[in-house]
Amino acid sequence: MYAIAVHGGAGKWRSESESATLDGVRYAAEAGQGILKQGGSALDAVVAVVAALEDNPLFNAGTGSALNVDGDAEMDAGVMVGQGLLTGNVACLQRVKNPILVARKVMEEAGHVLLAGDGALRFARGWGFEDFDPVTPRRFEDYQKKRRELLEDAGSGLPYLRRLLLCQADEQAKGTVGCVARDVHGGLAAATSTGGVTLKLAGRIGDSPVPGAGNYATKHAAASATGQGELMMRFLTTKSICDLVAAGYSAQKSVDEILARMAAEVGTDAGMIAVDTHGNIGIAHMTQDMPHAYANASQSSIVTAMRVSSH
């Protein structure tokens, strides 16, 4: 019995890109499903899925990542396996093609949990990850547009981050990609990757590489979150989901409950996916959209959707 769920980022997506977006999450999910069907590990599956999404410039991870205030792509990624609570993470990583692959290498080879900035880049180069420019023309145009809007609003008296969020309101640049899986051997894993928020301050680290915030896995469940990263870090969203599963909640009830608690305490800019040890899947969001895909023993063909109907 296997199960897999994928998300392409919570937020507001342009309607004209909906078909291509769903094709993207479906293609990535198929890559992971193929590994699981052949008896491969949940770890291999989630990393393959996230790497595929990082390679698709429609998504805000890897190629096509959002640019910070200096016009640089500083990327975050994290991976975790439930058995032994092993995790590897990178933050503020520049000029690599697939941050999730570097995060996995940190988990398996570094003896550390999180590497950031220049240290993460030096580690990546040491393991043979070649120089790669993830900045696409579309993201650079988006960066220039939002920078102009921010500068025009500079006299409003609003704090920088408040003005920044107002500039983000009509775009999907906050999207994060993620995957959770249960393999046929009962192993659970989660992987999450992001370019962060357009015009974020240099050095800003989101929730994706913070275990328990944007990404987490235990022997009971695996979860990945998307949305405004600061909310996930304040709430420890994915660990909270896994804790509810351990307490007897289903995967779906767990994500619904945590989303409701977050809405009451910190905010609604969040979405999440989870899978439990029985192969049950949970998907929830309070943003307008969250492109996602999933498959399991009871639904072997991959299902895709832009949003969960109940939200």
Kindly list the catalytic residues: 176
Residue 272, CA distances (Å) to 210, 242, 250 in order: 15, 12, 14
Q: Which residues of 239-253 are buried (b: 16+ CB within 10 A; e: fewer)?
A: bbbbbbbeeebbbbe
What lies within 8 Å, CB to CB, of 260 at 6+ separation is none
Alpha helix locations (H) across the chain?
18-37, 42-54, 99-105, 117-126, 137-152, 160-168, 229-235, 237-246, 251-265
What lies within 8 Å, CB to CB, of 235 at 6+ separation is 213, 258, 261, 262, 265, 266
Q: Tokens 């959209």 sit at which residue?
A: 289
